[in-house]
Amino acid sequence: MNDWIAVMITILGRRNSSSVQLVMWAINEIGVEFERLDYGHGFATTNTPAYLAMNPMGRVPVLQDGPVTMFESAAILRYLGAAYGSETFWPACPRSRASLDAIAEWGKNTFAEGVLRIFVYEVRMSAATRDPAFLAAAVENLIPLAKIFEGFLRGREWVGGDHFTFADIACGHILHRYFSLDWDRPDLPMLRDYYEKLQQRTAYQQNAMVPFDDLKRSYRPL
């Protein structure tokens, strides 16, 4: 239980960020009150002392909840689950949660990063800066990861078993981009059916299926 009264959770971050989408999907599934303020990439700048004090990386999202201020979307997801989630969404027992934690970590990092490599090529790079070798390497990296994802779904209703959990958010938030991008996807029927099932969830429609037109040709290499 919280030892403070949270008036409302505040999320700082633009809605077309995949990391913000993960957090907002979780908030809407759990059903806590919130406000979201647009920050980053054409909105309020993250390069200010005040913002950098909350997230020294200058990225989105940032969560504010009473005395709690934190960054990193996967950490925010875990916080939301522990603070506000049901036992089904976030099992309190570490042993019951262990396999879900592992899948969630893999989904947010390894799988999502693989999808985002193709996203950078297809959406954020201009035609003049695209190197087909970059796309080929990204596809070669992602196909085996997608097959691993398919394996998580074999014999299961959701990635962790019979119930929708935080692990589905960590893994599933990026599937809209996975299936919307123009690349040679492998035929994985369980993964496709899983995505179709996610699309039936109102919170997924509102927070993960967000247009990314504003991000086109916006890539700036470091």
Residues 78 and 98 in one domain: no
Measured between alpha carbons, how far is 90 from 61 in angstroms, rounded to an integer?
A: 21
Residue 191: give the domain boundaries: 94-208
- Say whether both 56 and 21 belong to one domain: yes
Residues 45 and 129 in one domain: no
| Residue 2 covered by a domain | no
Residue 217, pLDDT score: 64
Instruction: Look at phi and psi of residue 165 and say left if phi exceeds 0, alpha if psi is from -120 to 50, else beta.
Output: beta
Euclidean distance between CA atoms 22 and 78, whole angstroms: 11
**Cα 197 to Cα 192: distance, rounded to the nearest angstrom:** 9
Structurally, how many domains does the chain consist of?
2
pLDDT at position 212 is 87
CATH number at residue 180: 1.20.1050.10
Residue 169 lies in a domain: yes
Domain presence at residue 221 = no
100 and 187 share a domain? yes
Same domain, residue pair 142 and 193:
yes
Q: What does the pLDDT read at residue 1?
A: 40
SS3 assignment, position 119: helix
Give the pairing of strands 9-12 and 34-37: parallel
Residue 190 lies in a domain: yes
Cα distances from 176 to residues 54, 65, 156, 169, 217, in angstroms, run: 29, 28, 21, 12, 19
Same domain, 202 and 98: yes
Residue at which a domain ends, from 38, 56, 84: 84
Q: Do the beta carbons of residue 103 and residue 152 sit within 8 Å?
A: yes
* Residue after which a domain boundary falls, among 84, 111, 134: 84
The amino acid present at 82, given as its one-letter code, is: A
- Which domain-ending residue is among 84, 107, 134? 84
- Shared domain for 64 and 102, answered yes or no, is no
Mean pLDDT, each 10-residue run in order, the chain (222 residues) = 62 97 98 96 95 98 97 98 97 96 97 97 90 96 98 95 97 98 96 98 97 72 44
SS3 content of the chain, % helix, strand, coil (to 5): 55, 10, 35
In a domain, 216, yes or no: no
**What pLDDT sits at residue 219?**
54
Tell me, what CATH number does 51's domain have? 3.40.30.10
Residue 222, pLDDT score = 39
Q: Say yes or no: 129 and 184 in one domain.
A: yes
